[in-house]
Chains A and B, each alone.
Chain A
Amino acid sequence: AQKVTQAQTEISVVEKEDVTLDCVYETRDTTYYLFWYKQPPSGELVFLIRRNSFDEQNEISGRYSWNFQKSTSSFNFTITASQVVDSAVYFCALSEAGGAGSYQLTFGKGTKLSVIP
């Protein structure tokens, strides 16, 4: 069974600090996909990134970066120079083929990030 663990329930940082959100996953499949979603206080779920299990290259998008390490089954998310607008709940998610090849999403419990001005 697939599983996603986000051990950090809540994190508070002061604006302009860097912050890393941890995500550890479990899967028996060799082909799988990892995702991060952002849920700001307004409530919608915003897609941030998708990575496949064959691509371990780190990715950077502006102040956001992601570190994927298969050896430790981790897919961590770093925000550099955090801003108040980054305050949100961040979800890590995993999809794998499963019995029906459906690639359903399994979400972690989320990490609530508060950026203090």
Chain B
Amino acid sequence: DAGVIQSPRHEVTEMGQEVTLRCKPISGHDYLFWYRQTMMRGLELLIYFNNNVPIDDSGMPEDRFSAKMPNASFSTLKIQPSEPRDSAVYFCASRLGRINEQFFGPGTRLTVL
């Protein structure tokens, strides 16, 4: 079975541009998480969904960030407009049930110039 799939793997964009990151969770998993990893702040939870419904978006840094999960097999994280401080690795993870382990995608390395 395929793991969590993220695209693109690398994204370089200029300040002010819109960026969309994509995630396909493991089939059957009912939780989906978006994280951001930076050297300064480590791994931060941005938002998570349960059965496609956003449950907690308190980690989303600003209104420039938005996330959607239109169906059980697809989610997007959008940054509009992007800023250099958004440069980070963004991970998507999925989980089956409440207490089990999360499985992470390979991440998207975002560089905003």
Chain A interfacial positions (CB closer than 8 Å to B)? 33, 35, 37, 43-47, 50, 52, 91, 95, 100-105, 107, 109-110
Contact = CB atoms under 8 A, between A and B. Distances in A.
15 contacts: A43-B89, A43-B106, A44-B104, A44-B106, A44-B107, A45-B91, A45-B104, A46-B104, A47-B101, A100-B56, A101-B98, A102-B55, A104-B56, A105-B102, A110-B42
A102 B98 contact: yes
A109 B99 CA distance: 22
B102 to A, nearest CB: 6
Nearest to A96: B99
Contacts of B91: 45
Given A47-B103, A102-B48, 14 more contacts: A33-B99, A43-B89, A43-B107, A44-B106, A45-B104, A46-B104, A47-B104, A50-B100, A100-B56, A102-B56, A102-B98, A104-B45, A104-B48, A105-B33
Contacts of A33: 99
Q: Which 6 residue pairs across A and B have the least CB separation, nearest first? A: A45-B104, A107-B43, A103-B98, A50-B101, A47-B101, A44-B106
A43 B91 CA distance: 10
A52 to B, nearest CB: 8
Interface string B6-50: 000000000000000000000000000100000000110100101
A44 B33 CA distance: 15
A95 B89 CA distance: 22
A91 B37 CA distance: 12
B46 to A, nearest CB: 11
B99 A103 contact: yes
Nearest to A110: B42
A37 B107 CA distance: 15
Contacts of A52: 99
A45 B37 CA distance: 11
Nearest to B91: A45
Contacts of B56: 100, 102, 104
B48 A95 contact: no
Interface in B54-113: 55-56, 89, 91, 93, 98-107, 109
